């Protein structure tokens, strides 16, 4: 499953040097981090709206489509900051067997 994320991460790395006229990813980098973050925010909102609609309609296709857009733009953001999917997977793996409620309690003063 994560093989797709790794392959996409390699493409994203290569696109940092690509021509913005022929590569969408290169065009985002040319516009800068703020543009990339704007796209992450937009895709986040579109995902939330799709999820709200799906709760009523039962049609989850738009949720999958919008979440793919959100993951993709989040990966462009990570790539911009010299991070990749493995960093996130490692963080999630380190949380195995730790209840979210326990983790939250451990943060309380």
Ligand X SMILES: N=c1c2ncn([C@@H]3O[C@H](COP(=O)(O)OP(=O)(O)OP(=O)(O)O)[C@@H](O)[C@H]3O)c2ncn1[C@@H]1O[C@H](COP(=O)(O)O)[C@@H](O)[C@H]1O
| Site for ligand X contains 71 (CB under 6 A) | no
- Which of 46, 54 has the CB closer to ligand X? 46
- Residue 52 CA, chain-centre distance (Å), reads 20
| Site for ligand X contains 23 (CB under 6 A) | yes
Which range binds ligand X by CB under 6 A, 20-28, 56-64, 84-92, 101-109?
Answer: 20-28
Which range binds ligand X by CB under 6 A, 7-15, 52-60, 88-96, 98-106?
Answer: 7-15
């Amino acid at each position: 499953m994560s093989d797709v994320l790794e392959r996409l991460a390699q493409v994203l790395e290569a696109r940092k040097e690509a021509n913005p006229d022929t590569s969408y990813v290169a065009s985002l980098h040319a516009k800068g981090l703020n543009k990339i973050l704007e796209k992450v925010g937009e895709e986040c909102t579109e995902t939330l709206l799709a999820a709200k609609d799906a709760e009523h309609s039962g049609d989850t296709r738009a949720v999958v489509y919008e979440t793919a857009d959100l993951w993709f733009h989040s990966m462009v953001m990570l790539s911009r900051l010299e991070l990749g999917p493995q960093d996130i997977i490692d963080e999630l793996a380190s949380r195995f067997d730790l209840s979210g409620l326990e983790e939250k309690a451990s943060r309380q003063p």
